[in-house]
Amino acid sequence: MPSVALRPYRENDLEAVLALWRHAWDAAMPEIDFGARLDGWRKRWIEELVPRNSIVVAEAGGIVGFVVIEAKSGYLDQIVVRPESWGGGVAKMLLDEAKRLAAAGITLDVNQSNARAIRFYERERFVRAGEGVNPLSDKPTFRYAWRPDR
């Protein structure tokens, strides 16, 4: 893979980011029809995520990942990496950038069935801080938290 560079999200990244999001989640959770959610996700991206969050994309011959974090609260809404780049350090680069943007700490929710993501967050010193339910899928979730003093 070419070297990876991080940069802020730009409006003309929208279609590439949506396609990447769907591709990654189709691979991670094939039992969910993410194609059926694409229009709602596009609306949420434009109306909620872009105006309220810091969004950073990872590029290596195209967009290979992105992270969405609300720096003030430290809530990490999305971290997505192209499946072909899984295990290649892109997710760690994006998470390190999120930690820089939300230096006081980060919280996130992850589906309990997403074992790959759970292993990643636990390796990165996140600790389980609660449980919940994903409002879109009704699947159980874990809340994870990271603080810089851990």
d(CA 15, CA 17): 5
**Given this model, what pLDDT does residue 150 score?**
63
Average pLDDT over residues 70-97: 95
Q: What is the dihedral of CA 76, 17, 119, 37, to 10 degrees?
A: 90
User: Considering only CA atoms, which of 91, 12, 108 is closest in space to residue 53?
Assistant: 108
State how far the alpha carbon of 82 is from the alpha carbons of 3, 25, 27, 63, 132, in Å.
Answer: 15, 9, 9, 8, 26
Question: Exposed, middle or buried, 20 (CB in 10 Å: 0-12/13-18/19+)?
Answer: buried
CB 107 within 8 A of CB 143: yes
pLDDT in tens, 47-68: 999 999 999 999 999 999 999 9
pLDDT in tens, 108-141: 999 999 999 999 999 999 999 999 998 877 889 9
pTM: 0.91
Outline where DSSP puts E strands in 3-50: 5-8
d(CA 85, CA 98): 19
Q: What kind and span of H or E run contains 146?
A: strand 140-146
Under CATH, what is the fold of the domain 5-146? Aminopeptidase (3.40.630)
